[in-house]
Amino acid sequence: FFMHSLYRIIPSNEMKRTISLFATLLAIPVVSFTTNTHPTDVSVPPHRAPTFLDGGHESPVGSRRFQPTSTKTFLSKIHNEGDEDEKLESIEIPSFIKSPVLSQVYPALVSHKEKYGNPNIPLGSTDGKRCKTLRRLHFQNKLSDDEVALLTDMGFRFHSFEDVYYECDFDEMLGKLMDYRAEFDTFQIPKKYEPDPELGAWVTMLRRLYRT
C-alpha cells in the first residue's frame, strides 16, 4: 500500500524507476507500471524474486541461501529417530555386565558396530564419552574379565600407553605422582603398578617422552 501511494503522489517516471529499484533491493512487492493498476493488483519485478525464509530464495543482504526443510523430510527424520530408539531398547544387555557405564552404552555399541563395522563411537557424543570412560575403567582394572572379553570380541579399542598420557588430566596425574612420592619417597613407579595402572602407564610415557 505504501509503494502504491508513492506512485500516485509522485508522477515522475524517474522517481518510479528509483522506487522500483529500492523495492527490488529489499525484495518487496511493488505495484505494476500500468496506468490502470488497481491498488490490490501487485506484481514482482521479474528479475528479482522476493525473499521468503521458507522458499529458499537468495537473501538480499548477501550470498547466503536458506535451505528449507520440507515437512516430509522433517517427519521422516523424526520417524527414523523413533525407529532407532526402539531398536536400541530392543537390544538385550548380557546379564554378566555389572558396570553401569557399560550397561548404558552397550546398545549403542551394538548399533554402531552394525552400521560401521566397529563399536568405537566418536567422542563428540554422549555415548562417545561413555566409551572414553570405559577405556579408563579398563586401564584401572575396574571391568570384569567377562566384560573385557565381550568388548574385545566386538572389536572395541582399549587404551594404549600413549592414549593414557594424552587423554588423562595432567594436573590430576601429577597430583597422584606427588602423593606416591610422599608415601614411598621415590618417583620410580613400576610400569604395571597394580594399585593404579593408569598412573604407572602415565609415568612410563613421561620417561619415553623425556628420552626422545
CA distance 135 to 159: 6
What percent of the chain is modeled with pLDDT above 70?
59
CA distance 117 to 179: 43
Span of 4-13, 20-29, 47-56, 155-164 with lowest mean pLDDT: 47-56
Q: How confident is the model at residue 13 (pLDDT cuts 50, 70, 90)?
A: low
CA distance 119 to 98: 19
Q: How confident is the model at residue 211 (pLDDT cuts 50, 70, 90)?
A: confident
Q: Nearest CA to 170 among 143, 146, 190, 199?
A: 199
What would the mean pLDDT of 29-58 be, rounded to a whole number?
48
Q: How confident is the model at residue 102 (pLDDT cuts 50, 70, 90)?
A: very high
| pTM attached to this predicted model | 0.51
CA angle, residues 111, 113, 115, in degrees to nearest 5: 70
